[in-house]
C-alpha cells in the first residue's frame, strides 16, 4: 500500500479492499516509525486512523510469526485505554479486521493462523481470567488499573514477559492526574523485566504541549532522552482539527415570529432529505418533547429510519438528541455516546463510537431559540475515512 510496503500480502489485500482511498497521513507517517521500533506519539484528529496506525504493524508481525509456525501462546501487544467502554469497543474492532483477513485469505485459497484478541477489565469473569492465564491472547486490550493488577500477580506477570509493544490510547486523559503517574509506574514495571523493554506508542486527538506528553509516554532517564534533552520519542503531529462541511439551512418561505406548520414541514422535509443521504444523523433540540416530535415526524416521512432519543443536562441547560439511522445500519444507536451542553445559549456536541466504520455522518439542530434555521455539520470526503469508529460530530445552535 502507499506510504509503506512492508506489510504481509494478506494485510495489503485487506486494506486495499477496506480502504480504497489509501492510508491517512497519520498512518503513512506512523507505520515506518513503528516498524523501525521507535517510541512513537501520534496526534491526529478523530477518525484519522490512529488506532489502525498503531495496531497494524503489530498485527503484521504476529501474522508473519504465525505463518512461520513460530508464534507461541504469549501476549505480544498490549493496548491500554483509560476508558473501559472504549477498550471493549477497540477489542471488537480488532476482531472484525482479523476475521475479514481470514475470509479474504479463504477466498484466495489460503488459510491464515489464528491471532487471539482478549479484553481484561474489572468486568472480566473469573473463568475468562483463568482462560487468559492458561492461554494468553496475542493482543490484550485493558485499562491502566487492570494492567497494574496483571503485573502484580505472579502468574499473569510471567505471561507478560514477551510483550513487545504497549499502545496507550487517549494519553491526554491520564496526563492531568494521578492516573497518569500510576500508569507511568506500571509502564516502568513492565520495562523492568529481564527481556527487552517494549516499544511504546501513544495516541490522542488533543495533545498540548505535545513534548510533555511524549515525556510522559517514554519516561525519564538518560536512555529516554536525546542529546538536546528532548524525549527520545518520534512525534507524528497531524493536528487536532478535521475538515468539516458546515452549512446553515433556512426555509424558503417568509419568516415570522412563530414558525407555522408549513415552515416546520419545510424544515422536516429538508432534514429528511439530508438524513437520507447519510447513514447516521443527530438532531439536537432544546426539549425532549421537541426531539421526540422531530423523530416521529421523520419516521412518518421515511419508514426506513430507526430512531432513539437521548439527553444530557449541564450547567442549567438541556440538550436533547434524536439519533436516526436507516434500519439497515442501525446498530447500537446510542451506545458509547456522549452528549453535553452549556452556556447561556444552547450549545450541544456529540461524539459517537461504533464497531462499524462509516464514511460520513451528519448532525442537524433545531431549537426554540433558533426556530427557522438549523446548522448542518458533516465530515467531507476530503478528510480521511473513519478507522475503527464513527467520526465525531458537533453542532452549535
Q: Which of 332, 276, 279 is nearest to 299 (CA)?
A: 276
What is the pLDDT at residue 393?
Answer: 36
pLDDT of residue 328: 35
Determine what percent of the chain is predicted with pLDDT higher than 90: 26
User: For the purposes of burial, counting CB atoms within 10 Å of the CB of 223, is it exposed (0-12), middle (13-18) or buried (19 or more)?
Assistant: exposed
Query: Cα separation of 54 and 166, whole Å?
Result: 10
Range 268-302 burial, b when 16+ CB lie within 10 A, else e = bebbbebbeebbbbbbbbbebebbebbbebbbebe
pLDDT band at 1 (very low <50, low <70, confident <90, very high): low
Residues 236 and 213: beta-carbon distance below 8 Å: no
Average pLDDT, the chain: 76
Q: Which set of grid coordinates corresponds to residue 180?
A: 497518569
Grid coordinates standing for 293? 416530535
Q: Which of 48-62, 111-125, 303-317 has the lowest mean pLDDT?
A: 303-317
Q: Is the pLDDT of residue 63 over 70?
A: yes
Beta bridge partners of 316: none
For residue 33, give the nearest of 1, 16, 64, 56 by alpha carbon. Answer: 56
Q: How far apart are alpha carbons 55 and 59 in whole angstroms?
A: 6
pLDDT greater than 90 at residue 330: no
Task: Find the range with the poorest average confidence among 69-73, 235-239, 364-368.
Answer: 364-368
Closest CA to 169 of 201, 209, 213: 201
Q: In terms of Cα–Cα distance, which of 195, 196, 200 is closest to 183?
A: 200
Give which of 338, 334, 337 is closest to 309, Cα–Cα. Answer: 334
300/265 Cα distance (integer angstroms)? 12
Q: In terms of Cα–Cα distance, which of 396, 45, 48, 370 is closest to 247?
A: 396
Q: What is the pLDDT of residues 175-232, one digit of tens each?
A: 888 999 999 999 999 998 878 899 999 998 877 789 999 999 999 888 899 999 899 9
The domain over range 9-237 is classified in CATH as 1.10.3260.10: no
User: Domains of the chain: which residue ranges?
Assistant: 9-237, 244-396
SS3 for 293?
helix
The 10 Å CB-count burial string (b at 16+, else e) for 174-211 is bbeeeebeebbebbeebbebeeebbbbbbbbbebeebe
Tens digit of each residue's pLDDT (9 = 90 or more) over 286-304: 788 888 888 888 888 877 6
Which residue carries 480488532 as its cell?
94
Amino acid at each position: 500500500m502507499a506510504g509503506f510496503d512492508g506489510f504481509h500480502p494478506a494485510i495489503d489485500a485487506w486494506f486495499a479492499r477496506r480502504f480504497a482511498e489509501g492510508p491517512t497521513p497519520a498512518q503513512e507517517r506512523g507505520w515506518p516509525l513503528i516498524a523501525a521500533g521507535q517510541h512513537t506519539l501520534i496526534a491526529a484528529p478523530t477518525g484519522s486512523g490512529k488506532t489502525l496506525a498503531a495496531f497494524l504493524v503489530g498485527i503484521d508481525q504476529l501474522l508473519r510469526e504465525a505463518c512461520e509456525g513460530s508464534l507461541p501462546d504469549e501476549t505480544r501487544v498490549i493496548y491500554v485505554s483509560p476508558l473501559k467502554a472504549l477498550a471493549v469497543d477497540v477489542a471488537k474492532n480488532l476482531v472484525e479486521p482479523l476475521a475479514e483477513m481470514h475470509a479474504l485469505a479463504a477466498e484466495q485459497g489460503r488459510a491464515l493462523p489464528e491471532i487471539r484478541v482478549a479484553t481484561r477489565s474489572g468486568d472480566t469473569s473469573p473463568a475468562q481470567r483463568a482462560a487468559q492465564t492458561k492461554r494468553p491472547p496475542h493482543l490484550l486490550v485493558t485499562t491502566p488499573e487492570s494492567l497494574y493488577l496483571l503485573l502484580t500477580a505472579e502468574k499473569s506477570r510471567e505471561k507478560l514477559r514477551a510483550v513487545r509493544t504497549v499502545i496507550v490510547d487517549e494519553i491526554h486523559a491520564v496526563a492531568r492526574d494521578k492516573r497518569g503517574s500510576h500508569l507511568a509506574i506500571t509502564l516502568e514495571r513492565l520495562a523492568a523485566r529481564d527481556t527487552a523493554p517494549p516499544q511504546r506508542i501513544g495516541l490522542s486527538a488533543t495533545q498540548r504541549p505535545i513534548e510533555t506528553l511524549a515525556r510522559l509516554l517514554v519516561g525519564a532517564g538518560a536512555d529516554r532522552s536525546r542529546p538536546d534533552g528532548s524525549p527520545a520519542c518520534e512525534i507524528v503531529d497531524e493536528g487536532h482539527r478535521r475538515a468539516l462541511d458546515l452549512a446553515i439551512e433556512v426555509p424558503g418561505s417568509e419568516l415570522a415570529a412563530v414558525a407555522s406548520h408549513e415552515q416546520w414541514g419545510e424544515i422536516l422535509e429538508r432534514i429528511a432529505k439530508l438524513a437520507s443521504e447519510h447513514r447516521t444523523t443527530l438532531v439536537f433540540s432544546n426539549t425532549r418533547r421537541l426531539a421526540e416530535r422531530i423523530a416521529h415526524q421523520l419516521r412518518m416521512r421515511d419508514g426506513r429510519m430507526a430512531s432513539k432519543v437521548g439527553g444530557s443536562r449541564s450547567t442549567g441547560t438541556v440538550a436533547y438528541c434524536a439519533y436516526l439511522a436507516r434500519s439497515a445500519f442501525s446498530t447500537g444507536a446510542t451506545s458509547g455516546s456522549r452528549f453535553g451542553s452549556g452556556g447561556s445559549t444552547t450549545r450541544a456536541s456529540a461524539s459517537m463510537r461504533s464497531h462499524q466504520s462509516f464514511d460520513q455522518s451528519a448532525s442537524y439542530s433545531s431549537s426554540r431559540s433558533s426556530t427557522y434555521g438549523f446548522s448542518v455539520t458533516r465530515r467531507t470526503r476530503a478528510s480521511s475515512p473513519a478507522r475503527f469508529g464513527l467520526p465525531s460530530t458537533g453542532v452549535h445552535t
